[in-house]
Structure 1
Amino acid sequence: MPCRNCLISIVNNFLPPEARLLISKDQYKRPAIFLRDVDNDYENEVIAFYSLEGARYTIALKREENNWYVLSNVSQKSRLDLGNKARNLSLAPVKVIGGIKYGYIDNKGQFVIKPRFDYAFNFQKSGLAIAGENNIFGLIDTKGNYVLKPKYDSIDEFSEGRAIVRDKSGAKIIDEAGKEITSKAYNYIGSFRNGRAQFGGLGSSEKYIYGYLDRMGNEVIPQKFEEASDFINGIALVKINDKHYAIINLKGKVLQTFNYNFVGNLGDGLLIFQKEAGEKYGYIDLRGNIVIQPQFEGTQGFENGRAVINAAAGYKTKYGLIDRKGSIVIKPLYDNLNLLGENRVSVGKATDIEKPYMGSKYAVADTNGTFLTDFIYNNIEKYNRGLASASDNKNTFFIDKSGRIVKTMPIVSGGGSLIIQGELIKAFVDNRTSYYNMQGKLVWKQNTTIPLDNQYKVIEQKFNPNKDYLVYYPQIEGMKNKRVQLDVNNKLKKLSQVKDIPGNVQLESSYSGDFSVEFFKKNLLVLELNGYDFPFGAAHGMPTKAYPHIDLVSGSFYELKDLFKLNSNYVEVLSDIVGNMIKTQPQYEYVFPDSYKGIQPNQPFYIDENNLYLYFTPYEIAPYAAGFPTFKIPFKDIMSIINTQGSLWKAFN
């Protein structure tokens, strides 16, 4: 470990300029900096105590190779009063009528905070969690009470005691008490690093430019950069203009400039650079000295003395690994290569050489180039304390640093990931959440039964005939006529794309399907069946959506026409309403000009208690990014044409 004066210098690099190190109470009256193994990896971390704006904080720094990073940075009040309790609460999603509600369970799988939130995230070190309802977000404590009532469109995770929130006016900064720090809203604010956060927006020349805020929301570095990175060890890389990059310090002072077409990725003390557009990439140090001559078609930043490079031109890939001198550690022969941390990498080889976009099988290697396994895994996550989540065609599990499956920990059927959270292991496998204890015993899993009332319920069934084909589909229980119930369930299977799919062959695309209970009242059940087909190698997949409206007494599947009187000319009436909404409401400005020609007699639709919703598929009248353009029409506006004596209306009225 470095000398004490060196430790003080290292710690100060990670503190806001306004922070002050606390003085220890020992006889030497030295700064409160200590060495402790806080993450049980048998290596000491640097722990320091400091004050800022009247509050006291604890920061933990960890070193990998010659680089330091922040392991944690929390207020002492949060750490002492809230940290342990927050670590023992795990986010748990539950399927209900209307979609999914989120709550939090303890280490025994019991709900401590009942599932009542529409959106929720893991508890943070501050002892707070982001949660929300009705498309707005707030902050809750470990009892589930709002300490900041929902009012924001989004809230980012806290970093260095600050979080970025967004509302209609823009992005702002709040502290851990939920108080807004910034005096105005910005177009963009990034996360805090070293007491600084990027902010961005249009400048006087109508160019998007960046500056930096401090933790009090002050613009300490003016908005003048075309590009900006986070601060690391007290420095950041910025782009001033074309072929003009610079390293700046926390006060915005330029320490070094670089006159190249591209400079990027401030990591490990080396920067990627490209002299002129179209030329190859190399690496320079922080003073601008060329350390590795330009010779690569593509490069990634250094981490712990290693960097991933690509030796193939165009859209092809030949990934390899180099050291800080540019020497080849793993030859550039592979379709994928990822740094996993803890001196390990995953190396991917295409399952079909002629079609590399079909996917890869991965091996584990160390950062000296020694392969520890064959190409046997479908995916491998980053290592943490000697373990990495991985999966094959059958299961998801942990592997150790030798690449072997850890059989004393959970092995979960299906594909996904495992992560240790406090005293539990969270499994997100085949798009479903479950929790296990460290001995591999199941503690909690997501529900597969959705009660509608005392008679009816919807049961989730899983169809997974191929590794690239996964569907969850609904089946109804409780209908008195079992023959009708069987017919309804068979139709739901068909609508959900449950069909003959070969098992041990490589499909040309992946398909996933799921469902939710959107509405239930009296005898009417409305389900949402959604799907996503992704052809391998395509830019994106194609989503699908359908809403069966099912009468639980008769077994009828209703169509749009069943809502209206005979000869009501509902197509023309609804077409005019939708057309007027497109013309007059700004929220529909994305609709392609002249693309809307009216609705169809069998227009896709769904209803709730008070409204009719008409929707269009992607590309039909709007760009793909617009999703499913949807138009809400209150029943009160069209009562004159609704058949209130019809079976559909009576099914829920």
Structure 2
Amino acid sequence: MENDFLYPASLKTKDGTKWGFINKKGEFEIQPDFDFALDFQKNDLATVEKDGRYGCIDRVGNVIVPIKFESLIDFSEGRAAVVFQSAFHVIDEQGQILTKKSYNFISMYQEGRAMFSDIDEDGNFRYGYLNLAGEIVIPLQFETASDFKDGLAIVKIAENYFALIDRSGNLMSQYHYFFVGNYGDGLLTFKMGLNEKVGYIDLNGNVVIQPRFTSAQAFEGGLAVVNEADEVENKYGLIDKKGQFIIKPVYNDVTILGENRVAVGKAIDPQKPYIGSRFAITNWKGQLLTDFMYNHVSQFDHGIASVNESNKAYFIDRSGNRARGLPIVQGAESVALVGRLVRAMKNTRIAYFDRKGRLVWRQNTIIPLTSRYRVLEKKYEPNKDFLVFYPQVDGLKNEKAQVNVNEQLKQRSNLKKVDPNEQLDYTYTGDFNVTFFKNNLLVMELYGYEYYFGAAHGMPTKNYVNLNMINGRFYEIGDLFKKDVDYVIDLSAIIEEMIHTDSQYDYIFPGAFKGIAKDQPFYVDEMNLYIFFAPYEIGPYAAGFPTFKIPFPKIIDMIDTKGEFWLSFH
């Protein structure tokens, strides 16, 4: 089976980054025709994306699950939750929709049940459960619910009223507390009030460990991670089922790694514990097996875990020693054993190595456009928390214009000065894609993501360059239109109509759209003009970058079809 193992791999092209599947020699067995691809699952299906839609292929590249879903969660027990026409459904492994109606949310199947949520008859948001046929077996009735584990699930019936149910929805135990959850090893966490401490009860509701923790996780193998801190500083430790500390609560992080091993972390900056930790490995008695030297530690699997130390990633055994017969990958953030290869994540890029450390595959850094023109990928990494991949063009006849273009591309890619020794309060990653190239016009997307440590989420950025490869000119939106056309008013009217008549734009904040700007962000392809806005500008963060696709035939009378911009790709 390992000889048939296939690995998702990406290739940068003039049509964007494309994904296919390589063999252990680094040869494409399934050509890179997809916008994204994930590993093959146990059912020999791999999720792929094309044009913003998801489906599944088999090991020879045949589409088994139609590529038509807006989202597709991994298969579990022969079923997968998908989003289709903006609502959740359940499909089988042939892509057949099993649910007779749609829902607000459906979880992965666990023990023959999938949690789902929807609005009940009284207009309340409630949870219930589906069986493998996609049928409701436990009706909507719970305020909150968990996945099934050991034949049991925790549900909230009403305020200060939780219960343990079986797979048929029968009440096995009832609990009158402010919160009950995190089931594991026959114990549950509970709180008596909003600002109260957390403790543990047994399945009958008897208090086993008095509430004294600010947070507490589920028991696993007789141990649980808890936090005693009341302030910003964390005090994580590990307790047994009697509430006795096996690992004292003095750490910024504690993670159970499996196979009787635990990672304990000290804050990189004690004044800012949210920045992260430096980890060591202990056994389940809390005895240190390594120094505090790792930035990241994976779960143990068959006696092996991967770690990141400084600017390299490698594997260790349960004793904390470097694993024999497996490579060190310099410059990698993480490594994992996948089939016969080692998959490394290097600067947000996937690379594959054999077990002797020889490179098998990495994404290309030169994107050919024609025999003359090409785009070169360059890397700017002044600090461990600041990384940008940015484009540089090559092949312009006018060398002075090429130098100017490449300097502009650096600036537009956010290559700012950063102290290499400073511990930043944030991380920033930037990248780019070629999205369209025809004749003399090159369109590239420059995007980034800035995340401040401890924040609920980061902030994405995006801009496009529409570049003439003959003269090095960067086009603005006004360059597309006739001089006597007020494109701001006309395009604003078109978008206003789209917002009011097209249901896909129902998320736009009422009254938020006031018209486009004279220098409105935009991009083009062969048939369309695209106008987009930043998150929060006219819609919620979850909507991303609201984008309006306007076909050229709709606005052809406005376009300067004899102008330089239009003729650059016609």
- TM-score, normalised via structure 1 length: 0.83
Q: Which residue identity does 2:493 align to in structure 1?
A: D
Q: Which residue identity does 2:282 align to in structure 1?
A: A
Equivalence for 2:561: 644
Equivalence for 1:371: 288
- Asked if 1:219 is matched to 2:143, the reply is no
Equivalence for 1:59: none
- Asked if 1:198 is matched to 2:140, the reply is no
Offset from partner CA, 1:189-221 (integer Å, 9 cap, x none):
222222222232222232222222222333333
Q: Secondary structure at the match of 2:403?
A: helix
Alpha carbons of 1:205 and 1:171: their partners in 2 closer, same or farther (altered >3 Å)?
same
- Asked if 1:95 is matched to 2:12, the reply is yes
Equivalence for 2:202: 285
Equivalence for 2:227: 310
Q: Is the 8 A contact 1:87 1:421 kept in 2?
A: no
Compute the displacement of 1:542 (Å).
2.7
Q: Is the 8 A contact 2:236 2:254 kept in 1?
A: yes
Q: Is the 8 A contact 1:396 1:416 kept in 2?
A: yes
1:253 to 160, 170, 181: 170
Offset from partner CA, 1:587-607 (integer Å, 9 cap, x none):
333333443332222111111
1:333 to 250, 261, 266: 250
Q: Which runs of 5+ in 2 are unaligned?
A: none
1:586 to 498, 503, 523: 503
Equivalence for 1:208: 125
Equivalence for 1:615: 532
Compute the displacement of 1:457 (Å).
1.5
Equivalence for 1:266: 183
Q: Percent identity?
A: 49
Q: Secondary structure at the match of 2:400?
A: helix
Q: Which residue identity does 1:297 align to in structure 2?
A: T
Equivalence for 1:25: none
Equivalence for 1:543: 460
The count of residues paired between Structure 1 and Structure 2 equals: 570
Equivalence for 1:347: 264
Equivalence for 1:403: 320
- Asked if 1:559 is matched to 2:476, the reply is yes
Q: Is the 8 A contact 1:512 1:532 kept in 2?
A: yes
Aligned pairs for 1:4-153 within 5 A = 84=1, 88-153=5-70
CA distance in 1, matches of 2:139, 2:465: 55
- Asked if 1:483 is matched to 2:373, the reply is no
Alpha carbons of 1:105 and 1:193: their partners in 2 closer, same or farther (altered >3 Å)?
same
Compute the displacement of 1:452 (Å).
1.3
CA distance in 1, matches of 2:129, 2:484: 64
Equivalence for 1:439: 356
Q: Which residue identity does 1:94 align to in structure 2?
A: L
Q: Is the 8 A contact 2:233 2:273 kept in 1?
A: no
1:229 to 140, 146, 149: 146
Alpha carbons of 1:423 and 1:161: their partners in 2 closer, same or farther (altered >3 Å)?
same
Equivalence for 1:604: 521
Compute the displacement of 1:415 (Å).
4.6
Q: Which runs of 5+ in 1 are unaligned?
A: 1-83
Q: Is the 8 A contact 1:260 1:274 kept in 2?
A: yes
C-alpha RMSD of the superposition = 2.1
Alpha carbons of 1:142 and 1:404: their partners in 2 closer, same or farther (altered >3 Å)?
same
CA distance in 2, matches of 1:358, 1:197: 36
Q: Which residue identity does 1:630 align to in structure 2?
A: T
Q: Which residue identity does 1:376 align to in structure 2?
A: M
Q: Secondary structure at the match of 2:401?
A: helix
Equivalence for 1:456: 373
Q: Is the 8 A contact 1:513 1:530 kept in 2?
A: yes
- TM-score, normalised via structure 2 length: 0.94
Q: Is the 8 A contact 1:528 1:548 kept in 2?
A: yes
Q: Secondary structure at the match of 2:17?
A: strand
Alpha carbons of 1:622 and 1:382: their partners in 2 closer, same or farther (altered >3 Å)?
same
Equivalence for 1:27: none
Q: Which residue identity does 2:109 align to in structure 1?
A: F
- Asked if 1:577 is matched to 2:494, the reply is yes
1:425 to 331, 342, 346: 342
Equivalence for 2:412: 495
Compute the displacement of 1:307 (Å).
0.8
Alpha carbons of 1:187 and 1:86: their partners in 2 closer, same or farther (altered >3 Å)?
farther
Compute the displacement of 1:142 (Å).
0.9
Q: Which residue identity does 1:628 align to in structure 2?
A: F
Q: Is the 8 A contact 2:314 2:326 kept in 1?
A: yes
Q: Is the 8 A contact 1:338 1:347 kept in 2?
A: yes
Q: Is the 8 A contact 1:415 1:429 kept in 2?
A: yes
Q: Secondary structure at the match of 1:636?
A: helix
Alpha carbons of 1:145 and 1:411: their partners in 2 closer, same or farther (altered >3 Å)?
same
Q: Secondary structure at the match of 1:116?
A: strand
Q: Is the 8 A contact 2:267 2:278 kept in 1?
A: yes
User: Highest CA radius of gyration, 1 or 2?
Assistant: 1
Q: Secondary structure at the match of 2:39?
A: coil
Equivalence for 1:472: 389
Q: Is the 8 A contact 2:235 2:252 kept in 1?
A: yes
CA distance in 2, matches of 1:391, 1:277: 38
Q: Which residue identity does 2:221 align to in structure 1?
A: N
Compute the displacement of 1:248 (Å).
2.2
Q: Is the 8 A contact 1:364 1:403 kept in 2?
A: yes
CA distance in 1, matches of 2:535, 2:105: 29
CA distance in 2, matches of 1:611, 1:105: 34
Q: Is the 8 A contact 2:65 2:93 kept in 1?
A: no
CA distance in 2, matches of 1:217, 1:570: 50
Compute the displacement of 1:137 (Å).
2.5
Stretch deviating more after TM superposition (434-443 or 413-422) = 413-422
Q: Is the 8 A contact 2:111 2:149 kept in 1?
A: yes
Q: Secondary structure at the match of 1:652?
A: coil
Q: Is the 8 A contact 1:87 1:123 kept in 2?
A: no
Q: Secondary structure at the match of 1:157?
A: coil
CA distance in 2, matches of 1:212, 1:579: 41
